[in-house]
A and B are shown apart, each in its own frame.
Chain A
C-alpha cells in the first residue's frame, strides 16, 4: 500500500498549486485519520501518535484557526489550587446538576477525574497559564461551578490551548492536511475503511484509507442566524456519522450563550465571555434593575444568593455566602435575559446591560479581560471600563452529538470515533462554561488511544476502500456543478438557502420553542432540501467558497432536521431546550434520551427514545448529601433516581 504522494504537494500544508479541474485522485494510507484540528482533534491525534499509530489530521481551515481559538474563559479542572476543598466529586456533581441530570454519568465522571492531569500536560507542553500568588495555575469562577476552577490565560484560554496543542503536534511530526474537507466516510462492510474529501485550494479529490476515523469537527451553530460560531460549524461530523450509520443523541439541546454582542450588526452574536460575570460583572435591564434575582429557579435556590448584599459578599467570602444569580448555569441566564427583553425592558439595540465598569477598576478589567476590552473598543467603540456592554443570547454550543461509548468514544460504527462538540452525552441538557475545553482534552486523548489500539488490531486484515464508493462520492460532490444542465430549472444560490435556513432556525427552533413553530420548521426544512437539490454554483473547483458551501449545506440541513425533530418530541423544558407549551421539567422525560438515525432513503432522520444509562449507587450519593450549614434544604424538583431497567422501551 503506502501513501502515493503527488510530487508537487507541500509536505506540511498539502498545498498544491495546480488547479487542474478533474485531474487525478490523491490517495493516502494511515492508521488513524482525525477530522478536525481544534482542541479535540489535536489532542486525539497526539494520543494516537503517542500510541504508535500513523496519524493524519484533516481540517477545513489552516492549522491553528479552529473554533477552539475563540474559547475565552478557561478549562474546568478541580486542581484545587485556589480552593483545596475542590475535587473531582464536586466537579462531577456540578456537571450533572448543570446538565439537569441528563448527562451520561460515566462521561461526566471520567471528565471530572481526568481533567486536572490533562491541564498539567498542557503546561508540560509549553502553555503559560495565569498564576496564583504561590506560582500555581490560577483558577477562576464560572457559572455553575461551586469553586473557582477554570485554569485560564486572561480571556484567551482557547488560543493558548490550541497553540500549545498545535506546537506539540508539529513537534511530533504529525501530518496535517489543511484546507481539506471530508465529504464522506467510506466503509468496508460494517467497518470504517477511510474518508473521501477534496482540497479546498485546488478542488482535487483525495482519499484516506484508514481503519480508524476520529470525528472532531465541532458544532452546528452556523445553522442559526445569531451565533458565536464560525463558518466551519456546519455539523459535518454529525452528518458524516449519520450517513455512515451511527446515531446522534440529545440533539434538541442547543446552548444559547447568555452574553453575545448585539451591536453593531456585523458582530451580532459574537461572544462576550462568562468571565465578565465570574469577575464581578452584573446584568441590568433598561430600568437599572439587577433582574437575575427574579429568576432563581427552585433547583438552584439553595445555593444562590437572594439579596444583592449576599451576592456581593460572595466574591470575597465564598464560605459564608451563596453565589450571585448572574452565575447560574447558562440556560437559566439566557432565558431570563430573553424574558426581560420580551417584556420591553431591553436596551436601545435590543439587548440587556452587562456592567463591570461600575464594579471593578479599569486596571482590573484590562488585566483580567484584555480581549473583551479590545473587542468592544475596536468593534463597537465601547470602553467597557467606563460604560456597560449591551448583550443578548447567541447560539453557542450543541450539547447533542454522536452517541459514543463513554470510555472509548467509539460510535455505533466499528472504527468510527467522535469527540468534542460533535459527540453527545457528556453535557446532558446543558453544558457548564469551562467544561468544553476540558471535555476536548479528556475525551480527545481517550479517542486517540482507542482509535490507535483498534487500528493496530486490524493489521492482519485491514479494511479496504471500494472504488465504487469513491466514484459515488465523487459524483455527489460534483453534483452542484451539473445542476444547470438538467431540465429542472437549476439556479438556487447556496448563500441564499443558507441565509433562509439560518433565519428559519433562529425564528422557529430558537431559545423558546412551541410545537407549532417546530412543526413549521420541519416543513421549512423540507422546502430547503428541495431548493438545495437545485443548487447551482458558478466558477470552477479551485478555492471556490460557493461550491464548498453547497456541500456543507447538506450537512446543515440534516443536522437542523435532527434538532427540530427531537425538539418537537421532547414535551418538557430542560436545560438548553425550553418549550413554551411545556414550561417545566417532566420526571419521565428526565429518564430518557432521544436518538436520531438516518432514515431509510437517506434524506432525513428517524427518531427513537432510549433510557438514560443508570448511575451506580455510590455516585448517586453525591446528590443526596445534606445541605451545608446555614443553607435551607432545597425542595427536590425532580427525582434523581434512575428508572428500573426495562421500564422504558
Chain B
C-alpha cells in the first residue's frame, strides 16, 4: 500500500541552508532512508546523503529525524502517523558538508590518539587462550558500528564546540573500556582516558546509551566502570602509597602505560 509522505529535508552547505518541503510516494514497510532515496531518484538528484548497507550494520546513514539522532535505515515509516510530516536534518554536532552529510573527521582524529591493543606473546602451541566470559564484556563494546550518534547527542560536544579538543566522546570511552577489559592486553590507558580523552567531563546523563542503535549500555557498562578505574588509580591512598614506596602496583594487573 502506498501513500504520499510529507517530508522536510535540510538542504544546504557550510555557508547555510534551509528545510525544503517535499511530498514523496512511499510504501508500507519502508524506512526513512527509502523515502530519501526515492526523493533523490525522482526529485532531487543531487541530494547528498551517506549510506551503505541499509541494514543497520555500517552506521553510515546517521541523521536527526524529527530532532532525534537515528539511523535512517532503521527508522520505519510505520513508527509515524501517515499524516505526520517527517523532518530530516544532518547531525548537529558536526560541521555540515552538504545536505545530510556532515564532516565527521573529529571522530577519526580521536581514533588516532588512542593507542591500540598490545598483547603479550602467544602460548607455546602458537594459540591464545581467553575464556568466553572474559571476552564477552569487550564483545559488547565491539558491536559498535561507529554511527557516531552517541557523539552527536553528547551535550559535552553538541553544545560546546570548544570541548572537542579535550574530550573524545562516548564512542571512544567505549574503546578505552574495551581495551581495559581485554584479558590479554598489556597497556594501562587510565591516565590517557583521564587526561587526553577527558572522561571526567562526562556527567553520565546516559543520552549516548539512549540513542545507540546497537543497544550498547555505554554509560553503565563502559563509562562508569572506566571512571571508577581511573579514580582508583588517581585517588586510592593505598595505590598512591604503593607507587611512592615502589611496591608493584597490583591495581593495574601488570599493565604498563603506553
Contact between B126 and A120, CB atoms less than 8 A apart: yes
Q: Which of B46, B60, B185 gathers the greatest number of chain A CB atoms within 10 Å?
A: B46
The verdict on B95 contacting chain A, using a C-beta distance below 8 Å, is: yes
Q: How far is the CB of B250 from chain A (nearest CB, A)?
A: 24
Interface string of A146-179 (1 = CB under 8 A from B): 0000000110100110010001101100000010
Interface hits, A486-517 → B, CB 8 Å? 493-496, 499
Q: How far is the CB of B161 from chain A (nearest CB, A)?
A: 15
Interchain CA distance A156-B99 in the complex, whole Å: 31
Specify which chain A residues have a CB less than 8 angstroms from the CB of B41 in the assembled complex.
493, 495-496, 499
| Residue on A nearest B179 in the bound complex, by CB | A126
Contact between B53 and A230, CB atoms less than 8 A apart: yes
Interface string of B37-74 (1 = CB under 8 A from A): 00011100111111111111111100000000000001
Specify which chain A residues have a CB less than 8 angstroms from the CB of B139 in the assembled complex.
128, 130, 153-154
CB < 8 Å: which of A129, A271, A539 contacts B45?
A: A539
The verdict on B208 contacting chain A, using a C-beta distance below 8 Å, is: no
Contact between B146 and A64, CB atoms less than 8 A apart: yes
Instruction: Identify which of B24-32, B80-88, B223-231, B235-243 touches chain A.
Output: B24-32
Contact between A537 and B45, CB atoms less than 8 A apart: yes
| Residue on B nearest A168 in the bound complex, by CB | B116
Contact between A266 and B52, CB atoms less than 8 A apart: no
Q: How far is the CB of A433 from chain B (nearest CB, A)?
A: 17
Interchain CA distance A267-B58 in the complex, whole Å: 15
The verdict on A13 contacting chain B, using a C-beta distance below 8 Å, is: yes
CB < 8 Å: which of B30, B112, B119, B179 contacts A12?
A: B112
The verdict on B124 contacting chain A, using a C-beta distance below 8 Å, is: no
Contact between A126 and B182, CB atoms less than 8 A apart: yes
Contact between B59 and A263, CB atoms less than 8 A apart: no
| Residue on B nearest A72 in the bound complex, by CB | B57
The verdict on A395 contacting chain B, using a C-beta distance below 8 Å, is: no
Interchain CA distance A616-B52 in the complex, whole Å: 43
Q: How large is the interface on B (under 10, 10 to 19, 20 to 34, 35 or more residues)?
A: 35 or more
Interface string of A532-562 (1 = CB under 8 A from B): 0000011110111111000000000000000
Contact between B29 and A374, CB atoms less than 8 A apart: no
Q: A64-B59, A545-B46 are in contact. List 16 more A-B contacts (CB 8 A).
A: A13-B108, A19-B98, A65-B59, A70-B57, A81-B127, A120-B122, A123-B128, A126-B116, A128-B138, A128-B182, A265-B29, A266-B31, A539-B45, A539-B46, A540-B46, A544-B48
Contact between B45 and A266, CB atoms less than 8 A apart: no
Contact between B52 and A65, CB atoms less than 8 A apart: yes
Interchain CA distance A379-B34 in the complex, whole Å: 12
Contact between B132 and A130, CB atoms less than 8 A apart: yes
Interface hits, B127-179 → A, CB 8 Å? 127-132, 135, 138-139, 142-146, 179
A64-B146, A267-B54, A545-B49 known; A17 and B97 CB under 8 Å? yes
Interchain CA distance A19-B48 in the complex, whole Å: 14
The verdict on A375 contacting chain B, using a C-beta distance below 8 Å, is: yes
Contact between B95 and A17, CB atoms less than 8 A apart: yes
Q: How far is the CB of A180 from chain B (nearest CB, A)?
A: 13
CB < 8 Å: which of A13, A171, A264 contacts B30?
A: A264
Interchain CA distance A319-B146 in the complex, whole Å: 43
Contact between A62 and B45, CB atoms less than 8 A apart: no
A12-B105, A135-B130, A170-B112 known; A69 and B57 CB under 8 Å? yes
Q: Which of A62, A129, A134, A153 gathers the greatest number of chain B CB atoms within 10 Å?
A: A62
Interface hits, B163-203 → A, CB 8 Å? 179, 182, 185
Interface hits, A100-151 → B, CB 8 Å? 120, 123-126, 128-131, 134-138
The verdict on B109 contacting chain A, using a C-beta distance below 8 Å, is: yes
Q: How far is the CB of B91 from chain A (nearest CB, A)?
A: 13
CB < 8 Å: which of B104, B119, B179 contacts A124?
A: B119
The verdict on B254 contacting chain A, using a C-beta distance below 8 Å, is: no
Contact between B143 and A159, CB atoms less than 8 A apart: yes
Contact between A67 and B52, CB atoms less than 8 A apart: yes
Contact between B51 and A231, CB atoms less than 8 A apart: yes
A10-B105, A120-B126, A120-B127 known; A232 and B52 CB under 8 Å? yes
Q: How far is the CB of A499 from chain B (nearest CB, A)?
A: 7
Interchain CA distance A628-B42 in the complex, whole Å: 60
Contact between A263 and B122, CB atoms less than 8 A apart: no
Interchain CA distance A126-B175 in the complex, whole Å: 11
Contact between B143 and A379, CB atoms less than 8 A apart: no
The verdict on A378 contacting chain B, using a C-beta distance below 8 Å, is: yes
Specify which chain A residues have a CB less than 8 angstroms from the CB of B138 in the assembled complex.
128
Q: How far is the CB of B56 from chain A (nearest CB, A)?
A: 7
Interface SS of chain A? loop
The verdict on A63 contacting chain B, using a C-beta distance below 8 Å, is: yes
CB < 8 Å: which of A65, A167, A543 contacts B58?
A: A65
Specify which chain A residues have a CB less than 8 angstroms from the CB of B55 in the assembled complex.
70, 267, 270-271, 375, 379
Interface hits, A8-62 → B, CB 8 Å? 10, 12-13, 15, 17, 19, 61-62
Specify which chain A residues have a CB less than 8 angstroms from the CB of B117 in the assembled complex.
125-126, 167
Contact between A265 and B30, CB atoms less than 8 A apart: yes
The verdict on A390 contacting chain B, using a C-beta distance below 8 Å, is: no
Contact between A543 and B97, CB atoms less than 8 A apart: yes
Contact between A546 and B45, CB atoms less than 8 A apart: yes
Q: How far is the CB of A222 from chain B (nearest CB, A)?
A: 11
Contact between B116 and A493, CB atoms less than 8 A apart: no
Q: Which of A13, A130, A178, A263 gathers the greatest number of chain B CB atoms within 10 Å?
A: A13
Interchain CA distance A247-B91 in the complex, whole Å: 44
Contact between B76 and A379, CB atoms less than 8 A apart: yes
Interface hits, A352-382 → B, CB 8 Å? 371, 374-375, 378-380
Contact between A230 and B119, CB atoms less than 8 A apart: no
Interchain CA distance A130-B101 in the complex, whole Å: 36
Q: How far is the CB of A116 from chain B (nearest CB, A)?
A: 9
Specify which chain B residues have a CB less than 8 angstroms from the CB of A266 in the assembled complex.
27, 29-31, 34, 54
Specify which chain B residues have a CB less than 8 angstroms from the CB of A159 in the assembled complex.
57, 142-143, 145
Q: How far is the CB of B184 from chain A (nearest CB, A)?
A: 9
The verdict on A201 contacting chain B, using a C-beta distance below 8 Å, is: yes
Q: How far is the CB of B99 from chain A (nearest CB, A)?
A: 7
Interchain CA distance A544-B186 in the complex, whole Å: 46
Specify which chain A residues have a CB less than 8 angstroms from the CB of B56 in the assembled complex.
374-375, 378-379
Specify which chain A residues have a CB less than 8 angstroms from the CB of B131 in the assembled complex.
131, 135
Specify which chain A residues have a CB less than 8 angstroms from the CB of B205 in the assembled complex.
none
Contact between A134 and B54, CB atoms less than 8 A apart: no
Specify which chain B residues have a CB less than 8 angstroms from the CB of A168 in the assembled complex.
116
| Residue on B nearest A232 in the bound complex, by CB | B52
Interchain CA distance A271-B54 in the complex, whole Å: 11
Closest 3 CB pairs of A and B: A264-B29, A539-B46, A546-B45
The verdict on B111 contacting chain A, using a C-beta distance below 8 Å, is: yes
| Residue on A nearest B127 in the bound complex, by CB | A136
Specify which chain A residues have a CB less than 8 angstroms from the CB of B132 in the assembled complex.
130-131, 135, 138
Q: Which of B27, B28, B41, B131 gathers the greatest number of chain A CB atoms within 10 Å?
A: B41
The verdict on B115 contacting chain A, using a C-beta distance below 8 Å, is: yes
In the assembled complex, 26 residue pairs joining A and B whose CB atoms fall closer than 8 Å, in A order, are A13-B108, A15-B97, A61-B58, A64-B59, A65-B52, A65-B59, A67-B52, A69-B145, A120-B126, A120-B127, A124-B119, A125-B117, A128-B138, A128-B142, A131-B135, A154-B139, A160-B142, A171-B116, A230-B58, A267-B54, A270-B54, A493-B41, A495-B41, A542-B97, A544-B48, A545-B40
Interchain CA distance A266-B56 in the complex, whole Å: 13
Specify which chain B residues have a CB less than 8 angstroms from the CB of A271 in the assembled complex.
55
Interchain CA distance A69-B185 in the complex, whole Å: 24
The verdict on B253 contacting chain A, using a C-beta distance below 8 Å, is: no
Q: How far is the CB of B140 from chain A (nearest CB, A)?
A: 10
The verdict on B13 contacting chain A, using a C-beta distance below 8 Å, is: yes
